[in-house]
Amino acid sequence: MMTLVRSLGIFVALVAIGGFGIAMWEAALARADGHPSDVRANELHHCYLGLLLIVATLPLGGWRWIATLWVGAAVMADDAYEHLRQVVEPAFQSPLHCLFARYLWPLAPIRWLAGVFNRLFGGHT
């Protein structure tokens, strides 16, 4: 049973990564209002946090890693959906984005990690 859940979780994570790639490609083309897209790779903080959660908890193994795999995949999928939807509705913010902004962004380690991502992916802090 655990093998099935793990395999499904890995599949969901791969689908989330694929969705993320499609979201970035679509968002990079143009916004619905005709202006060039302002979505940049350094703005995808909760996608990167979801991926980091999956990778960082890999050594846990067993059901704990499977649980964090699912949570990380859900976070990544939410970010992909948010950026796809912003192509047609630029002001849209996903529910997880709102939670991230309210509860995680005030934490210094999260802001530090976002700064690392910004520098890594060409943004500014």
pLDDT digits (tens, 9 = 90+) for 23-65: 666 666 655 566 665 555 556 667 777 888 888 887 887 888 8
Is the pLDDT score of 14 beyond 60? yes
Q: Is residue 102 part of a domain?
A: yes
Q: How far from 77 is each of 1, 6, 70, 73, 93, CA to CA, in Å?
A: 24, 17, 10, 6, 13
Q: Is residue 85 part of a domain?
A: yes
Q: Is residue 12 part of a domain?
A: yes
Q: Is residue 125 part of a domain?
A: no
Is the pLDDT score of 125 beyond 50? no
Q: Is residue 73 part of a domain?
A: yes
Range of the domain at 83: 2-120
Instruction: Check: pTM over 0.85? Answer yes or no.
Output: no
Q: Is residue 79 part of a domain?
A: yes
Q: Is residue 89 part of a domain?
A: yes
Higher pLDDT: 105 or 80? It is 105
Give the number of domains in the chain. Answer: 1
